[in-house]
Amino acid sequence: MQQLLLVLFIMLGFVMLFSPLRQTSQWELIEQRGVLKYGTRISLLSYFRVTDDVVGYEHQLLKAFCEQNNLQLEPVVFENNGAMLAALESGEIDLAGGHLSRTKSRAMSYQFSAPISETAINLVTHFDFRHETSLDAFEPARGELIGNSSYAELLDELADFSPKNLVLTNRFSLFELIKKINSKDLDYTFADAEIVDIYQYFVPGIYQTIQLSPKEDVVFMTHLYRSEELLLHLNQFIQQARKDGLLNNFRNDLMKHIPDIDVADTVTFFDKLQSVWPDIKDLVLEVAEEEGFDPALLAAISYQESHWDPDAVSISGVKGLMMLTATTAEELNIEDRTDPRQSLIGGIRYFRNMQNKIPQRIEEPDKSLFALAAYNIGYGHLEDARILAQSAGKDPDVWLDVEPFLKQLNNTAMAPMLRFGNADGRTAVIYVNNIMTYQQLMAWKLQKDRTAAHWNKPIM
Q: Which of 31, 58, 132, 305 is catalytic?
A: 305
Q: Are 151 and 107 in contact (CB under 8 A)?
A: no
Q: What are phi and psi of 213, to 5 degrees?
A: -140, 160
Q: Are 121 and 161 in contact (CB under 8 A)?
A: no
- Burial code of 56-89, b = ≥16 C-beta within 10 A, e = fewer? bbbbbbbbbbbeeeebebebbbbbbbebbbebbe
Start-end of H helices in 212-339? 228-244, 246-253, 263-275, 277-291, 295-306, 326-331
CA distance 167 to 77: 24
Check if 118 is active-site. no
Q: Are 189 and 144 in contact (CB under 8 A)?
A: yes
Instruction: Give the number of other Cβ atoms within 10 Å of residue 138's Cβ.
Output: 22
Query: In Å, how far are 240, 362, 436, 437, 447 from 365, measured between CA atoms?
Result: 28, 9, 10, 14, 20
Question: Helix 263-275 to helix 174-182 angle, to the nearest 10 degrees?
Answer: 110
Three-class DSSP category at 289: helix
Q: Are 139 and 162 in contact (CB under 8 A)?
A: yes
Catalytic residue annotation: 305
